[in-house]
Structure 1
């Protein structure tokens, strides 16, 4: 008997203090490095993009990994690479938390489009505004003690 699954996640994480430390000149190198991490975890990255202070991903995480372990590894390995690359001199690391939201197959293309248009989207909205909106749309109550820490 075969097992079937389709688990899409919209993952959002930001820099420490939501500081603008991922410069546009080298951001694609960060995305490519993260793509490699995802691939090495037998998972599939459908889209990645962001702006100077955060990253969005649409990913299918292989079931042998817990979501928290997967996110921890992506953030940890990419943070190490970013710091060693020399391209991001003011990058201090990723913030401790993250947002991850289940996405249905029917929503997949819409989320991919949303992630692709991050630079355009953030001409009119800050990361804080966007993140609050995403959390609210998911019915998540924000604990202000920890928000953007």
Structure 2
């Protein structure tokens, strides 16, 4: 893209289906490496990645030639297939439908990186559902509480 210059930084947040805490410490870094490869394969830059057993945060430097929706669809689809192929969970693994995508300026990146790196510390006091609603509220995003997280049938 000649003469196209962008500075797009997006934090993605998405959860394991039903918020099941199945991302095990024994293989989470392999998952992060795999997801980083997906992001890089699509020409984007992984700035930070971390999570908890029930959810994950990615901070990505985005190129403008792919939509957020397409990148998330490919990331979640490919990583869940990898987890299932590797048989890393007892049952079938799936990500929750949907995701959060929050944009940041370059000056905000150090704070966002620290936040992502310190997930374990943040979640000592705040569960994921509360954290996610805080992100939505802080961004001024209207949402219906009934549709934030899929409840098991």
TM over 0.5: yes
| Cα distance in 1 between the residues matched to 2:35 and 2:46 | 9
Question: What number of residue pairs does the alignment pair up?
Answer: 149
| Pairing of 1:9-48 with structure 2 (within 5 A) | 9-48=10-49
Moved over 6 A (4+): none
| Pairing of 1:57-136 with structure 2 (within 5 A) | 57-90=58-91, 92-136=93-137
Task: Give the TM-score normalised by the residue count of structure 2.
Answer: 0.93
- For residue 4 of structure 1, what is the aligned residue in structure 2? 5
Deviations 1:18-50 (A, max 9, x none): 111111111001000000001100100000000
Superposition CA RMSD, Å: 1.2
Task: Give the TM-score normalised by the residue count of structure 1.
Answer: 0.95
Unaligned runs of 5+ in 2: none
Please report how far the alpha carbon of residue 118 of structure 1 lies from its aligned counterpart in structure 2 after TM superposition: 0.4
Please report how far the alpha carbon of residue 2 of structure 1 lies from its aligned counterpart in structure 2 after TM superposition: 2.6
| Cα distance in 2 between the residues matched to 1:49 and 1:90 | 23
